[in-house]
Structure 1
Amino acid sequence: MSFAFVCQHSTFIVFNTLKIPTVRVWRRVAIGSLTIVGLLSILLSLSGYLSFFNETQANILNNFPRTGEPAIDAARMFLAMTMILTFPMELFVARHALNNIIFGDPSNMPIPTTRHVVITLSLWTLALIVALTVSNLGLVLELVGAFSGSMIGYIFPALCYLKVRRKNRKALKRVYSDRDLSDERLISSKVFDFHLWANYSMLIFGVIAMITGSVLAIKNA
């Protein structure tokens, strides 16, 4: 579930494709898409588990015969099409991140053509090698979902909020340093407490989910 909701790296790409790129439209798109993802994830996970119970594999398609079932073959075909259509978007993010880390170019600058081709082919070759040598990516997906998913989905956002909040509080204290105590009380009022404890809770949940998920994935491998 954590892995299904980890899509922050595509946020700016999707936002720039909106016909009306406003916060209000983006909120509707984000809430609607996450709701659909959540419902589909629950539906598919429950149906898969109720079909095989403790024998359910990480890739549920491996529970079915490799050939001879038209519906299962169609599901495998649609999964392959999904991976083919999703891969370019993931490659786009990875390419820009690598270019920024290695060469230090700002993310809004276009990548030179030669470098673009080299990075793209390198990433594609690595992915192809993994795909040809690994027959079951269940453990990989479980570890990515537990470790990276928890970091990106819960831990990093909470830490970023706490860092920004600390800077904002320092700035507010400087602004209100020459004013009366009522303004100073505004800085430390309970208006901010809900967001503070919500992010602390998300941070703690992310750490627990990361450790528990990683241990269980390795233990059940």
Structure 2
Amino acid sequence: MAQGTGSINSDYKDWEWSDDAGERARLLQSPSVETVPKNSESQGSGLGATSALGAVFIVVNAALGAGLLNFPAAFSMAGGVAAGIALQMCMLIFIIGGLVILAYCSQASNERTYQEVVWAVCGKVPGVLCEVAIAVYTFGTCIAFLIIIGDQEDKIIAALVKEPEEVGSSRWYTDRKFTISITAFLLILPLSIPKEIGFQKYASSLSVIGTWYVTAVIIIKYIWPDKELVPVEIPTSPSTWTAVFNAMPTICFGFQCHVSSVPVFNSMKQPEVKTWGAVVTAAMVIALFVYTGTGVCGFLTFGAGVEQDVLMSYPSNDIPVALARAFIILCVLTSYPILHFCGRAVLEGLWLRYTGVTVEEDVVRERRRRLLQTISWFLLTLLLALFIPDIGKVISVIGGLAACFIFVFPGLCLIQAKLSEIQETRAISWWAQVSYGVFMVTLGAFIFGQTTANAIFVDLTA
């Protein structure tokens, strides 16, 4: 891609397949493909073009894409501000640790995507389970992104046409299905077609600024509230002990950028674990401030009556909030392609393994297959978002998968990586790292099992 310009994909080559088989291999590495060592590869022209600062923006954008608006409700479920912040801080340690583990295993295994790292380090069965989990998670999240766009556009349109929201609009061009479709076709689909996500650093910078604005609006609205915004009861403790655990999937879903992290790590100019540690720490600190500000102030503004999407609790004619909704739309527009890239990588890996064709042999047909995968994925998510607008029950079931990506698979990778080391004596640090991996797997399995069982129980009893 041409560098030094402000446009996205201005070079027609960004939309074509690559004649460099090595470039393609680095993007979607198949376990059956023999590769040169990483050191010799880095001496060529295969290094990424994303700077450390650009990587920070991409990681922050991936983390803030969908979970930002749910944190006030998560604080309410957790039982108040103190419980919400404490839970968030405890989980952040393992969230950052998981990101660093994935980068370490990616470098050690010479793999370039999340699922291929798990496949190479942990073996076939965990690899297949990881691919299935990624496909389900990214597909469901893309549907959620489109629904978020529809929710925000409904409020914005209601303010522009000045019609009561409960009555609905009689104009065809303000219909929810039309607005979601036109936004998706004009903006999301073009961003989803390119084969790399490094270009996202431009759009991601804008969306990160947008999330800061959303947080600022929610904080200001709490400090200087409107007269009609009167909070109901403000919980100070969880209703039940399990309520705290019910808030954990929202936190995991909010901070979950692990699926996208491996491609981002390998798109950097200097893909080193130490540099990556600084990148993800800075990114998670930014996300922490944004989430905490949004969660605390949104929760204290509306109390137990806060909506799952906090912006839906504000009136549609509030101009600053309307601008915040526009920024959220921008954030989601740039998050959809990142998650879609990871889902498409899973489909590509499954296809290459099924056909037994190596990446180098199949480069010529890559563009045609990429277009087919992208368009099929896009149309299915759009149709489901249009005709099944309320997918809260579905998201509640797959929300626990975020805990698997943050805790379970990185923990398994760390355990396997340490067990594969040939050492005559096991140092204390070795045992500490293995124990850390075991704890991560146990914690992730508990969160996934508890939240999934609870979601199914709630759905069956609803």
Instruction: State the TM bucket, normalised to the shorter chain.
Output: 0.7 to 0.9
Given the alignment of the two structures, is residue 209 of structure 1 paired with residue 442 of structure 2, yes or no? Answer: no
**The 10-residue stretch of structure 1 (131-140 or 71-80) with the greater mean CA deviation from structure 2:** 131-140
Distance 1:217 1:56 in 2: 20
Q: Residue in 2 aligned with 1:34?
A: 284
Q: Which has the higher contact order (CA 8 A, sep 6+)?
A: 2
Gaps of 5+ in 2: 1-250
- CA 1:60/1:150 → structure 2, altered by over 3 Å: closer, same or farther? same
Distance 2:331 2:359 in 1: 27
Q: Contact 1:58/1:138 (CA < 8 Å) preserved in 2?
A: no
Q: Residue in 1 aligned with 2:431?
A: 193
* 1:69 alignment partner, one of 291, 302, 318: 318
Distance 1:106 1:54 in 2: 54
Distance 1:82 1:75 in 2: 10
- CA 1:53/1:38 → structure 2, altered by over 3 Å: closer, same or farther? same
Cα shift at 1:136: 4.3
Q: Residue in 2 aligned with 1:130?
A: 384
Match for 2:348: what amino acid? N
SS at match of 1:135: coil
Given the alignment of the two structures, is residue 148 of structure 1 paired with residue 401 of structure 2, yes or no? Answer: yes
SS at match of 1:12: helix
Match for 1:115: what amino acid? R
* 1:159 alignment partner, one of 366, 388, 412: 412
Gaps of 5+ in 1: 173-183
Match for 2:452: what amino acid? S
- CA 1:152/1:197 → structure 2, altered by over 3 Å: closer, same or farther? same
SS at match of 2:428: coil
- CA 1:141/1:107 → structure 2, altered by over 3 Å: closer, same or farther? farther
Distance 2:320 2:388 in 1: 25
SS at match of 2:420: helix
Per-residue deviation, residues 49-85 of structure 1 (Å, max 9, x unmatched) = 11222112221122223x2111222122111111111
Cα shift at 1:148: 1.1
**The 10-residue stretch of structure 1 (7-16 or 42-51) with the greater mean CA deviation from structure 2:** 7-16
**The 10-residue stretch of structure 1 (33-42 or 7-16) with the greater mean CA deviation from structure 2:** 7-16
**The 10-residue stretch of structure 1 (15-24 or 148-157) with the greater mean CA deviation from structure 2:** 15-24
- CA 1:69/1:53 → structure 2, altered by over 3 Å: closer, same or farther? same
Cα shift at 1:33: 0.4
SS at match of 2:379: helix
Match for 2:406: what amino acid? G
Match for 1:32: what amino acid? A
Cα shift at 1:138: 4.5
Q: Residue in 2 aligned with 1:178?
A: none
Per-residue deviation, residues 12-43 of structure 1 (Å, max 9, x unmatched) = 33224434333332221111001111221122
Per-residue deviation, residues 122-172 of structure 1 (Å, max 9, x unmatched) = 111112112213434554444443x1111110011112222232332xx43
Match for 1:156: what amino acid? F
- CA 1:137/1:81 → structure 2, altered by over 3 Å: closer, same or farther? farther
Q: Residue in 1 aligned with 2:370?
A: 116
SS at match of 1:122: helix
- Superposition TM-score, scaled by structure 2 size: 0.40
Match for 2:449: what amino acid? I
Match for 1:163: what amino acid? Q
- CA 1:22/1:190 → structure 2, altered by over 3 Å: closer, same or farther? closer
Per-residue deviation, residues 147-204 of structure 1 (Å, max 9, x unmatched) = 1111110011112222232332xx43xxxxxxxxxxx4x22x4332221222222222
Identity %: 22
Distance 1:140 1:60 in 2: 20
- CA 1:215/1:107 → structure 2, altered by over 3 Å: closer, same or farther? farther
- CA 1:39/1:88 → structure 2, altered by over 3 Å: closer, same or farther? same
Q: Contact 1:59/1:138 (CA < 8 Å) preserved in 2?
A: no
Cα shift at 1:215: 4.2
SS at match of 2:340: helix
Q: Matched residue pairs, number?
A: 204
In terms of fraction of residues, the more helix-rich structure is 1
Q: Residue in 2 aligned with 1:177?
A: none
Distance 1:213 1:39 in 2: 26
Distance 1:165 1:77 in 2: 46
- CA 1:82/1:123 → structure 2, altered by over 3 Å: closer, same or farther? same
